[in-house]
Each structure stands twice: as structure tokens, then as C-alpha cells.
Amino acid sequence: MKNNKLFWKSDWFVGLLVALLFLFSANSDLMQSLERKAYDMGVRASSRTPSDKVAVIAIDEQSIANLGRWPWPREIQAKMLDLLAAGHAKVVGNTSLFFEPQVDAGLEYINKVGATLDASTLKNSTDPVYQTELAQLTALLQEAAQHLDNDKKLSESMAKANNMLLAMFFALGTPQGKPDKPLPDYVMKNSLVNVKEGMGAQPIPSLGVQAPIAALGSQAVAIGHLNSTPDVDGGIRTEPLIVDYFNQYFPSLSLMLAAKSLNLEPKDIQVTLGQGVKVGNLNIATDPELRMYTYFYADRDGKPAFQADSFYDVLSGKIPAEKYRDKIVLIGGTAAGVGALQVTPVSAGMAPVLVLAHSVSSILKQDFFVAPGWGFWVQIGIFVAVALYLTVLLPRLKAGIGAAITAAIFLALLVTHYVLMTMQAMWLQLMLPATMLLVGHLLLTTKRFLVTEKGKIKSDADSAESNRMLGLAFQGQGQLDMAFDKFRKVPVDDSLMEVLYNLGLDFERKRQFNKAESVFRYMSEYNPKFRDLGERLAQSRAMSETVMLGGSSGKSNASTMQLDRTGVSKPMLGRYEIEKELGKGAMGVVYLGKDPKIGRVVAIKTMALSQEFDEDELADVKARFFREAESAGRLNHPNIVTMYDAGEEHDLAYIAMEFLKGKDLVPYTKPDNLLPLPKVLGIVARVADALGYAHGLHVVHRDIKPANIMYDMEGDTVKVTDFGIARITDSSKTKTGMVLGTPSYMSPEQLAGAKIEGASDLFSLGASLYQMVCGKLPFEGDSMAQLMFRIANEPQTDILSIRPDVPPCVAAVINKALAKKVEERYRTGAEMAEAIRRCAASLQ
């Protein structure tokens, strides 16, 4: 009993039931209507141009208003045919059904008078006077009869034009015996004789026919049927090209119009039963019943695919008949009450003459859709594959993966359907498996939810305490986002509100005000009056709209922190408390910070790498940043700033370093604020010592310049800063357009992108010495390109031309340091420092 219960509850059994349900409903009106709706959408999604050889003359409201009620005297049709013949129309197809003679009331009376006269004694009289009067009266009656005989007038016009095709109509159905009488010869001449046996399928059978009257049908160049076969939803999508009338095959009017326009006869139409029809060199693929899937052309730019000219405008000469030269002209009703409108994929009500126009164009341009014979087996295969997915695979998948795969399969079926229709003009019925896929997935998902919801509620209650503990652990480790994620899985109560409040404060300290706002807003949904929650929420919202730590304000040097804001805790960067802003550099802001654990005061340099570098190189830049920070952190020299720590906080990288009281040497490079020469030499010598030490440990600075040399006037201390910072990008260009490193101090090999060694730093130090001695740069240019060219190719401006009192030994040190070739410079920093000190000693 237990096994049976499990059997009925299994997911695969539900999938099997769904598959069987859809299998038995495959041919239902509902499913077939759904397939047709998808077909219509595919037709409307495709775009093709109709044949310009097809023209339509419409019996519209305007024509009826001017020419009288329908049906008109056939004399009017005769006049139209005469006009079109004069305009050299190729063929004319008239959709009016001429199944009965049109007898004028006056003609009927004239015929009665004539019959009475023939039976009178006057006809046998020998009196010459009577004979003369009788002849005159007979001639007058014949003239009147001819004037009122509209069928004869139309017949004569048809014989003269020799290009008009008429319509006939079959009563569709399977005959049980033989026809009542043979078809007239003028109908039989349109039967198709070139018929090959195919796959056993037969065209649509018929058991009766309505043909045009003999007076008109005998003068038509061809007759074709106007039968249509509506789908289950009443829509017209196919054209039965052939109808079977007691084993005689008759073409549709559209097929005969296409054939006649190509100067072909019924004998030139080849039929392969169950496969298709060939007209000359045109192969028309059909379904097994020889029905063509007509392509219905959509309107373009607000204009119909086939412009219907008013019958009256053509008849009155407003539209010249010459317009229809060499055209296939179709005449039919579009006015209300003149023919029943038909539903098509592109219109909810289309006149039969316009449907005929679409069919003729589809044949001539080969624009019809195809439902291939192998498509049935493909549809069966797809159905089976989806059924197996629902019964075998989906029950084994997790909910998220199952939803993704179901969506992918459904999308693939839709895309396949529309691609085949729009690109290949091919129709496969894929809505049955697509619908089954959605319904099956929905039922299985609902079943799983109902079965597992009770267990899920219990599981959530059991895991609430675990999530609380995990959240507290993450918060203690500084992983605040993960902590908030865990806390949100815990039902909110007063004790959790205390925890969330502290989490919001932690986000504030991290300067993540938008996340603090999220926490406080989450809390306010439970109790908006908790502590000062309202003030905290408003404050966090306001702060999140201002410039924040590492905020993406567009420029990295604009990224700063809001300090000394009332009610806001001091910001934290890593483990450091931020006291105040010291200044801004090229890539970020420098802050005064404090390590609260040991009380050490530090300078913290921040760099918004994510703002300066593209995503594809950001990971490499970050890795290089920490490698260089590690290398620089190993440097322990009295003239090199000590680095304590490096890290990353949200979108900022930072370095914590020794805090210095002095300032950089940039102010002492101005001509009116130069330091005494002995002091300059002492500073540069110590920098050379520091560089020599660093080069010995294979650490190259790459950006030696006055801005990176700190000097404390009171203590006479010199410190080199920013070791390895220029190395971060390996001389690449940032996405804001800034080239790291300062070109005015760069060595020729650094500008050339060659391998950088210690000699490059000594060149930059020589340029800095030059500037601190005379107040000018050794190389200057009107543009960056000119400056870089001079550094690489031209000697520096002679310092004696700027400051003639410079001692020769100072000039010699500068010239050697600024040598273009690496081998001509000082080999080490210690060598340069020794040369500088010898020069300084000689000056004393």
C-alpha cells in the first residue's frame, strides 16, 4: 500500500500523465487553433514583396453608388472587358459567378411579341403591303432583343478580348455514385490530363459543380474553381489547387490565371498526387491534398499589399486602362454584400478577390509556405523528446536548473518555429510540444511546492538560529554583506533589531551609506520607531546621495569621504580610523588615519583602480599593486617612507604608510623659492643613497620627482615615497587618459617602453636635481610629443645658460645623470651619492 502511494506521488508519473493528455488532444480544435495562431504570427513576422504583375479592380461602394445596385447588367462587365482589352491586359480573372442567364424584363416581353407575331396569320399573308410591314416589325424586334441581351454582349466582348477567365464552384464531399450528367465541353477542356500517381493521397473530392452558362463559359479562355477550405478556426490559409470531380481533376482559378499569364494550357500543368503541382518551370509544394499554403503579404507603410482600383474609376476613364498593360487583372467585389469576407493571417476580413490576388502572387513568386512530408516525423520526435524530459529528466533536476532548461527548450521551439517560417518558408507544428512543456513544468513545480511546503516551513524554523549565528560570525569578520544576507533569513524580532542596528552602524563606518540605508529601511518595515531609526534612515539616504568613499563620481580625484558629519561615526578603511583628508593625488586621496589597536598614526593613500582601469585589465592591475606593495614593504631605510599595510576596501585599494610631518619638494623647485645649493645637494645625496639601497633589493621606483620626495625642514629629514606605485600599470594608459609616471622626469628608455632598471631612477633624480638648482626643467616642449622627443634625442638645456653661478662639479653630476645612454650614467645610487658629496665638500 505504501509503494502505491509513493507511485502516485512521483514526479515522473505526473509528467507521463501530461504527455498522454496532450497526445490524445493533439487533433483537438483547441490545439489546432493554437497551431494556426502561431502560424499566423509567423506569416506576419515574415516580409516579402508581392508580384507587380497582379492588379485588382474592385466592385466597391463608390462603384455601386454610381452604377446602381448589384448585380449590374452584364453589359457593364462587357464595357470593362473592352477597356482592358484596349489597354492590352494580359489576362482578366472575374470572380463574379455567371451561373444563370441574365434576362432583362423588356427582352422577355419582346420575345413574347415575336412569338405571337410568328404564330399570327399575318405571316402567311400574300399581300405585299403586309409582307413589307411584317419584315420591318420583325427587324425592329430583333434589334430591340439584341440591345437588351446582356449575356450576348458580354459573350461577344469575351470572344473579342480572348483573355478572360471565369470561375466555377464545386460542392465538396465524397460522391457515392456517378454524376447526374456529363460536364459541358467548355468545362471539360480545363480538366488536367498530365497527372502522375504519388504517395496514395488524393485531392479534395467533390460531388457537384456550378459552372458558368454556356454563352459565357464557351467564350472563356479558361475556367477555374473558387473553392476554399477554411481551417478549424474559420481562417483561410490554404488554396486547394486541384479538386477531384469523379476522378477528373480541375485546377483553381488562381492556378489557371498563373498558367495563362505564362502562355500555358491545362495540358502544361503537371500534377503529382500527394506531392505537388508544376506549372511550366514553377514547382508548387503542397500538402498531400494538393493544397498550397498561400503567402499573405502584409501591408507596408500604411499601404495595402495589392492596391484595389475602383471599378467606376476605371470605367469612367479616371484611371487609364493602359495602367493594366501586360497585367493579370482580377475583378471582384469588395463592397459590403458583394461576396463574403474571409479571415486570413493578415486580415480579419479580406474580400475573395484580394485572397485570389495573394494566391496568384504566391504561385508566380514561389512565396508559398511548405509543410514538408518529413515534418510529421520531426514533430513526433520533438514531442517524444519533450515527454521524456518531463518524465525522466525534469524530476531529477533542481528547481532553478529545471526552470532554466525548460525556458531554454521553450525558447528554442519558438525560435525554430519563427526562423523556419521567416527564413525557410517552412511550417512545423511545434506548439503542441511547447504547450505541453509549459503545462508539464507548471504542474510539476506546483506539485513539488505543495508536497514540500510543509517540510520547508519546519526547515526554515530550524535554520533561523543557524542563520543568526552565521550572520554574527560574518559581521565579526567584517563581511557585512554576507552578514546582512544571513540576517534577512531570520524572522525579525526585537532581539534581531538590536543586531541589525549595529550592522547598520558598521556599514556607516565603512562609508557604505547606501547599504546602511538598506539595513535601516529593512528594520523600519518591522518597527519604524525603534531607537533613532528614522533619523538614521534619513541621514543614510542623504549621505548615499553625496560623494562617498571610492564613489564612482566620474573622476577618481573627486572620490573622498564625508568627515566630521554630525551623528556619523568616524569612517573606517580596513582596520584604520580616518581622521582627516591630507590631500589629493593623481589617482586618489591621502588621509590621516589611526590604527586603533596600537594607536599608530599613519598616512593612508587610496587609489580607485576600478575607475582608472578597464575591466579586462583591472584584475592584473590589482595583482601587480599588491606585488609591488609587498616589495616596497620590505624596504627598511632611513630615507624611504616605511609601508605598514596594503589592502582593498570595496572599490578602493589603499596603502598605510609612515606619517611624515614635512612636505614634498615641489615648492622648492620654483625659481623664487629655491633652497641653498648645499642643502639641495645634501637632500639629493640622501635620495641617491635610498635609491641605491632599493636597487640592491631589485626594487625600482619608476617615478622619482620632487613630488615624491618628502622633506622636513625642522628635522632635516628626507624620505622617498610611493615606491612601486608607477609599476602598477607597467607604464600602460588608464581609461581616464592619464599616463602613470611624469614625462618631464622620465628617462629615454622609460619613454621608449624598454626594460626599466635602477639607471632610470638616477636619470629622474638628475632631472629633479637640475630643477631644484635652477628652477627650470632640463627638457621642455610645447606638447607632450615634443617633450618626449627632446628627452629621447636632444641634450638638456645647459644649466649654466640658466644659472651661470652653478659650480662645474654640480653641472658635471647633472650631465652624467642625464646621459642618454644607460652605460654613461652612474652605475649605482651609491656612486651618484658619493659624487654629490665630493662636489659638496669641494664647495666648502
Return contacts of 539-543, CB within 8 angstroms, 24+ apart.
539/567, 539/568, 540/504, 540/508, 540/513, 540/514, 540/516, 541/513, 541/517, 543/513, 543/516, 543/568
Beta-carbon neighbour count of residue 116 at 10 Å?
9
Instruction: Let me know: does 367 contact 361? Beta carbons within 8 Å.
Output: yes
DSSP assignment letter at 192 = B
Calculate the CA dihedral of residues 53, 59, 65, 69 and round it to 10 degrees: 160
Distance from C-alpha of 371 to C-alpha of 427, rounded to nearest angstrom = 5
Asked if 363 and 284 count as a contact pair (C-beta separation under 8 A), the reply is: yes
Determine how many CB atoms are found less than 10 A away from the CB of residue 505. Answer: 16
d(CA 699, CA 760): 12
Phi, psi of 51 (to 5 degrees): -70, 135
Tell me the three-class secondary structure of 481-534, residue by residue. HHHHHHHCCCCCCHHHHHHHHHHHHHHHHCCCHHHHHHHHHHHHCCCCCCCCHH
Does residue 357 contact residue 54 with C-beta atoms inside 8 Å?
A: yes
- Residue pair 550/650 in contact (Cβ under 8 Å)? The answer is yes
Residues paired with residue 347 on neighbouring β-strands, in sequence order: 344
411: which 3 cell numbers? Answer: 525558447
Alpha helices in 87-208 (DSSP H): 105-119, 128-148, 150-161, 185-188
Q: Which of 701, 676, 669, 675 is nearest to 777 (CA)?
A: 669
State the amino acid at position 420 in one-letter form.
L
Read off φ and ψ for residue 646, nearest 5 degrees.
-145, 145
Peptide bond into 240 cis (omega under 30): no
How many residues in the chain? 844
Active site residue: 703, 722, 730, 798, which one? 703
DSSP for 671-682 reads: TTSPPPHHHHHH
Distance between terminal CA atoms of the chain? 111
CA angle (423, 429, 434) in 5-degree steps: 105
Query: Which cell numbers in the block locate residue 8?
Result: 502516485
Q: Are strands 342-344 and 269-272 parallel, antiparallel or unpaired?
A: unpaired
Q: Which three cell numbers stand for residue 244?
A: 477531384
φ, ψ of residue 364 to 5 degrees: the values are: -70, -35
For the question of residue 244 being annotated catalytic, the response is no
**CA angle centred on 132, ends 130 and 138, rounded to 5°:** 100
Q: Residues 719, 725, 727, 729: what is their CA dihedral angle, to the nearest 10 degrees?
A: -160
Q: Which three cell numbers stand for residue 109?
A: 416581353
Collect all residues with Cβ–Cβ distance below 8 Å to 434 and sequence separation of at least 6. Answer: 410, 413, 414
> Do residues 570 and 508 lie in contact, with contact meaning Cβ atoms separated by under 8 Å?
no
Question: For residues 469 and 478, what is the distance between their CA atoms, to the nearest angstrom?
Answer: 14
Q: Which residues does the annotation mark as catalytic?
A: 703
